[in-house]
Chain A
């Protein structure tokens, strides 16, 4: 869990009034907010790895909201995006959802609708960040394994018994048991099932 940085709502809208009104609304509910007048300005500010969510106007001159979404995906940003659309923008909104946006909301909107969506997005972001942090932790633990321990781990996760592993690696069964205990300890695994889940989690993310 990352606790030191408070989640921030980032607003990108080319319309000064819409942008400013959103800033005030979020301020009125005590949410930290930063506003940007273009997609490029947001990219240049390097905020996309910060916790929070992005409230993004789908229609902007220059870089459109959809283009910014593509660029953020390229940068592996996990920032959840809530698109603000005008009426008649449904096809664009569909495209945005297919590219991973969490939600969209049509202008003008009820403040509570937007705030609900923002809260959902922030929860999603917190969840994603927890998961990412966990994955990073698992990777660090995996990196702490010796090559031999790594070999033993792969075979354990593949469901092989100690005796089979000893045969495969041309080791004594006792040696395999020691490596295996070291792996459980280094990976901080409570059980075999826990160990398998951690390894699969990382493998799935790397596919």
Chain B
């Protein structure tokens, strides 16, 4: 019966001498039973137990105080070949035996210890990785069958204790969420509790210490076999540093873009002054004509009314120029909205024509009708086009007036993109200039900042498009840029 057992079973007498040694013991210790029966059981023990075991036995028999009997513990044992291994040891006293006998059950736990060690190491590596990534995870048991689990890094990120069980995590986050992101978070949690059963959301929280953190929160719901909600499993990634870096980079880019717009405007200032001076001049003249009509003995009220109507219209015209100008130079947040390409051309026509007129350049617009909308920041797109038109005008400063024409065209490309082309008849681009064209601070103009094309290209790229140039047929240069049509990217 002993030999059929999986655990090693060893029976010793009151002096510690081995009386029985089963098959499993032979396998575990590497001794044949015949080799060890009658020997002190301490041969199976490494130091210090090896020397102390006799003392344990004496003490038990004299005091009756059980240190191991009926208790069991994890100990180390020694094989015949001298190697040690961890084992679980349980010891019992054989009932009614005189003198007493003891029976030991020994289970080799080498594999379990290895697995434990691996688990421990993997947990510590996970903790380390979470620390490095600033990412925490959690499990919320909805059925309350177990306490919620928050990883150490999660607690560090949120500044909470691991046993923060009195307030649920979702309630904490909803309390801390930044007012601007509250709706987003509520929506995400609604998703989590809906059939979607997952959420992936980024939001800001203001923690109890007053600091603002950007969290990227991904969570899923786990169900049991019957489809009942079991638990939320999620990770919370602290992306504050990355967001702050991105914010700073974006602010810098915005400032640069704004600066470049101002500089474009500066170059266009004379033209704009002209554009505002035109309606003002007309208003003055109409008003003076009006005074004369009124004073005239043969006055015709129709003339007076007509002049007044025109004064009104021209004042509005001047206001419109100023409004467009203000919109263009205003330092503002970048935002995407559906933009009709040809509508955009209409809006910038005044600004572009103003500049063209001043330099005796004809501006021709050739827009393909019925173009799809693009998702874009309209002011930034105007900036790109105006910058290209300005460059085209400058490129033709030395041209005879008959050739001074800028063609601004739009068309639909087969790949679902819209192409804008600004073509001039200037002297074209020298190869060495063409090479550095898009480098910041590269300029061929005496008063240029060298930022226009670099910024234009970064704007177009941010809109998912490309900006490049080709030689114009005959003379001059053509600058092209593309934007993806909004309808094509709408398939969400």
Q: Give chain A's interface residues, CB within 8 Å of chain B.
A: 15, 17-18, 20-22, 24-25, 27-29, 59-62, 64, 67, 86-88, 107-111
A-side contacts of B358, CB under 8 Å: 59
Given contacts A59-B358, A88-B273, are A15 and B278 in contact (CB under 8 A)?
yes
Q: How far is the CA of A62 from the CA of B313 in the complex (A)?
A: 26
Contact A17 B289 (CB under 8 A): no
A-side contacts of B270, CB under 8 Å: 88
Contact B360 A64 (CB under 8 A): yes
B-side contacts of A61, CB under 8 Å: 356-357, 360-362
Number of interface residues of B (CB under 8 A): 33
- Indicate if B280 sits at the interface (CB-CB under 8 A): yes
B-side contacts of A60, CB under 8 Å: 357
Contact B362 A62 (CB under 8 A): yes
CB distance from A70 to the nearest CB of B (A): 11
- Indicate if B259 sits at the interface (CB-CB under 8 A): no
**Chain B window 335-368, contacts with chain A (Cβ cutoff 8 Å), 1 for yes, 0 for no:** 0000000000000000000001110111000000
Contact A17 B317 (CB under 8 A): yes
Contact A67 B401 (CB under 8 A): yes
Contact A18 B401 (CB under 8 A): no
Q: Would you list the 8 A-B pairs with minimal beta carbon distance, nearest first? A: A21-B285, A111-B288, A28-B292, A17-B282, A108-B281, A107-B281, A108-B284, A24-B289
Q: How far is the CA of A25 from the CA of B311 in the complex (A)?
A: 13
B-side contacts of A87, CB under 8 Å: 273, 277
- Indicate if B306 sits at the interface (CB-CB under 8 A): yes
- Indicate if B215 sits at the interface (CB-CB under 8 A): no
Contact A111 B401 (CB under 8 A): no
Contact A28 B274 (CB under 8 A): no
CB distance from A90 to the nearest CB of B (A): 13
Given contacts A28-B296, A64-B360, are A110 and B288 in contact (CB under 8 A)?
yes
B-side contacts of A109, CB under 8 Å: 281, 284-285
A-side contacts of B317, CB under 8 Å: 17
Residue from B281, B307, B357, B360 within 8 A of A24 (CB atoms)? B307
Residue from A67, A86, A111 within 8 A of B285 (CB atoms)? A111
A-side contacts of B277, CB under 8 Å: 86-87, 107-108
A-side contacts of B313, CB under 8 Å: 17
- Indicate if B438 sits at the interface (CB-CB under 8 A): no
CB distance from A199 to the nearest CB of B (A): 43
Residue from A64, A108, A110 within 8 A of B401 (CB atoms)? A64
CB distance from A64 to the nearest CB of B (A): 6
Given contacts A24-B306, A28-B303, A87-B273, are A17 and B296 in contact (CB under 8 A)?
no
